[in-house]
Amino acid sequence: MGANSRGTVNFPRVSQVLDSRRDLVMLIRDKFRTEVANGPVLLVSGASRTKAYADIYKELFLEAWSEVEVEHQSLERAPYLDEAETLASRTLASNRRPKLVVYVGGQTVGDITKVIVHRMREAFRHRKGKRGKVVFGGIITSVSNDGIFSVTASVLDDEGLPRSFPAEAPDFVVGHKLTLLRQPYPMKISCVGDILSKISSLWDYNYSCRILDKYHNDFAADLVKSAYEVPLRIGKITRKYLHDPDSIDALYRAVQLCGLSMQLAGSSETCSGSEHVGQKWLDEYITRYNREPGIESKLPVLSHGEAVTLTSIITLYLQGQADLADQVKAIATEIGLRFTLEDLGLEGRVLQLCLAVGLGFRCPKYLSHLLGGQPLPKGDQDERITVLEEIELKGLPYAIQSAMIDSGVAKTKDFTDLTGIARITMNQVLISSLQHTKGLIIEKMGEKFEKEMGIEKASERAMEIADKVVTELEMLFHQLLPREARPHALAHH
């Protein structure tokens, strides 16, 4: 692929689902033999189910590619960033750096391995003045979302909270059809939910390009539409269908289209909009809540697809796409994706706030325009606005509440004041969101002003704007919290 307006496409050179594990390994061998030579090869897996698969593939590699040395490392703390740092450091310290790194597993193992390879390539680049020649790819054992093709990785930080980090796009992604067919059912429906969420993200992408007058990649947008039309067009997404081998081809091709779309667009924008921002804060809320001491029962941990199905139904109503939202609900009901607060054990005010604090999450300059008196950042490709920024500011919380009720996600009785641990946890999330927004405005507006007035004055001016914007946001969120739970005192630290 060629370059787009924002960078070079690095889509996998091999991307297939095969009927034979042996053929799968031979395909990797034949495609990358020249680059890998005699290795070594590093296989990375989780510590339990995927470890068994990795053991099988290690034997197949040794059988099909006798001249290479194959090492297998299993991850004990797969979602955590420190696991990636440890393995990357250990590998870099070795005299025999791998020329081929293959993860065997799903999204969690894949994301950690992306970070490992990113660290390795950066280290080799600094040492040699060029990128280290490490071929990287995955033998997937599950397909639950489009992240397998992404250039970012979602991992847990030291506090156990989800964070995104720069990583590496894979050189290949392959899978064994029967293995994927036998993946846990919740992973399959999570994949369906993630694909359907693109209806919302594509609306946001089109809106963002139109308002900011920035480059719109028509092909990237068409690919996303083709991806989410797969489950809509099939018309037979049922529990039974998801146990049919044909379903694996359909789901894999859909996430493949999403992956290519993100590469062409130069970011995840076509596939990750307001619904993913809401999911991010909901994920953080559940994580924080469940680790609070003294809770009687923990909240259910939602899969990525389950969470974005929930938030997408709401954002689709906000976007004026109620008919499509109802189609999403019908599919979700058929396959068992939960999307009501009653089924999920969530409070209405929690979900309402998790969506509301997404305001400005990826568009600090535009938020500074809305609340800080700054010019519209026309043509800025890094700014990503969504339907959350389209709604009149003071009416945003109420628009979200109405969409939640109208869509059937919530009932009027679900919206009561937060108390106890729920209130404490939501306050932590609000502080986290305000600190994120403030830091982003200081960084991005500071860069903008530096060209005009120098570093010191630029920093002061950016800080002034950030304080003004955060104060406005605090006033907005105050409407939904009891006075004693409001985040004002901590937001400015």
Which residues have C-beta within 8 Å of that of residue 331, sequence separation ≥ 6? 192, 196, 231, 232, 237, 337
Structural contact between residues 91 and 120, judged by C-beta atoms closer than 8 angstroms: yes
Average pLDDT over residues 369-394: 93
70-83: pLDDT as tens digits: 999 988 877 788 88
In the chain, which residues fall in CATH 1.20.1090.10? Answer: 196-491
Comparing C-alpha atoms, which of 447, 433, 280 is closest to residue 380? 447
Which residues have C-beta within 8 Å of that of residue 252, sequence separation ≥ 6? 17, 143, 175, 180
Which residues have C-beta within 8 Å of that of residue 172, sequence separation ≥ 6? 12, 13, 14, 15, 28, 31, 32, 135, 137, 138
User: Which pLDDT band holds residue 118 (cuts at 50, 70, 90)?
Assistant: confident
Q: What percent of the chain has pLDDT over 90?
A: 66
What CATH number has the domain spanning 14-183?
Answer: 3.40.50.1970
Helix (H) or strand (E) holding 397: helix 396-406
In the chain, which residues fall in CATH 3.40.50.1970? Answer: 14-183
What string of DSSP letters covers 427-457?
Answer: HHHHHHHHHHHHHHHHHHHHHHHHHHH-HHH
- Which two structure tokens, joined as six digits, stand for 298? 């923990």
421-473: pLDDT as tens digits: 999 999 999 999 999 999 999 999 988 888 888 888 889 999 999 999 999 99
pLDDT surpasses 70 at 16? yes
Look at the domain 196-491 and name its fold: Dehydroquinate synthase-like, alpha domain (1.20.1090)
Whether the bond between 397 and the residue before it is cis, its omega within 30 degrees of 0, is no
> Which position has the token pair 């667009």?
265
325-340: pLDDT as tens digits: 999 999 999 999 999 9
> Which position has the token pair 């392959």?
174
pLDDT surpasses 90 at 198? yes
3-class secondary-structure state, position 132: coil
